[in-house]
Each structure stands twice: as C-alpha cells, then as structure tokens.
Amino acid sequence: MSQNTYVHPSWNKDTHPQAVIAWALAKYDSELIMTSGFNLNGVVLIDMAVNAGFRGKVLFVDTGYHFRETLDTRDALTEQFPELEFISLSANQADDAMYLEDTDKCCYLRKVIPLQEKLKELAPKALLSARSQDQSDTRKDLRFIELAEPQSKVNPLVYWNRERLEHYAKEHKLPINPLYWDGFLSIGCGPCTRAVRPGEHSRAGRWAGTGKTECGLWTSKGL
C-alpha cells in the first residue's frame, strides 16, 4: 500500500480538527466516510464532523464480542445524530476461541475483512479516522493527512490528547462509553480488553501481555 503524508501550508499542531474536516469535505465531498469503534476519540470526531457539515456514513464492525456498553453507545449516537448513516457490519465466521490462540487472525477475520469488503463496495476516496499520536508508540508519527490507495486517511484529532478530548466531550454532552471512566481508555472486544493501569498509554489495555497494540485495520494488511 503506497502512502505519503500531505502537509497543508497553513496547518500546524494548533490547527483545529474541524478545519481539517472541512478541508476533507471540500476535497472528497460524498466520497468521504468514517470508521468508528465509538471510543472517546471516535465520539468526539463524530460531533466535530457533523458540526463541519459531514452527513455521510459511519462504519462499525460488530465482531460479536463487543461490550454491551459499546453497543449502547452506538445506539445513543445513532439517536443523537440522525443526519448520519450508521452502518453496523457483521463479522465473518470464526472459531469462537480463536482469540485465545491467534489474536492477529481473529482480528483479521472478524474486523479487517468485513470492513475491507464494505470499503470495496462503497469505494470511498478517503476515510475519517479518530487516531491520535498519544494513543501508542505505533501512532506517534501520525499526521493530519495520509495520501494512499485505495483510500487516503484523514486524522483530524492527531494532535489532541485525552485531556482535550475529555473536556470537549463533557462540554458538548456527548455519550461517552461508561467503561472509559472506569479506566478502559481504549475499548475493543471484551475478551481482549482490560482497564489501563497508571502510567500506561491509552491502548495498553488492548491484547495486554501479547505485545500487540493494533487490530490490523490501520496497518499494511488493513486499510
């Protein structure tokens, strides 16, 4: 997958995410869609995108292992933002115990493939992503725009930390997954997610003890 970073001449670390979203809407229009797991970053991005004029699709992969709280958050967002089209994708069939034996394969079958198939069908030019640099070491070099085929990635929140995101969510009364306030700073599938301990980065609770920090959606084998 070829990929290059685009640097807008007037952007810097203080550029507001909505300015980046507005740029993406002007460039890609209806060919811009969003993927989300409805974590803190994702919920903030949804609100900002709507405020910037986004009226497109939000894709969510229901792996069959999500916490009830995650699905409730999805439903609350669907009700709060009727101008968006929330699409839940069903996971491919996989061995129920696969996550115990091969987390990479489990993520690939249950998350990556369903999303890849939907993106192939929709063929958007760009994806709105809620990733930020402070989430993990694998994301520390992210920039606002990643030009790539088949989809470019737009990362409006790349320079925002958790404190700014929390403040925004509270100020705008957004429906944040209640598990977040219990220390689940990044929430994925139930069997592979734990609360984050003091001093750990926000994705340390994902696949803890395995050395894995990415499900594969945003790696070379994913999107």
52 close to 25: Cβ distance less than 8 angstroms: yes
Count other Cβ atoms within 10 Å, centred on residue 134: 19
38 close to 70: Cβ distance less than 8 angstroms: yes
Q: Which of 106, 107, 189, 215 is catalytic?
A: 215
Q: 215 an active-site residue?
A: yes
| Distance (Å, whole) CA 216 – CA 130 | 15
Residue 92 phi/psi, 5° resolution?
A: -70, 155
Residues 6+ apart with CB under 8 A from 36: 42, 45, 46, 58, 59, 60, 130
Residue positions annotated with a catalytic role: 215
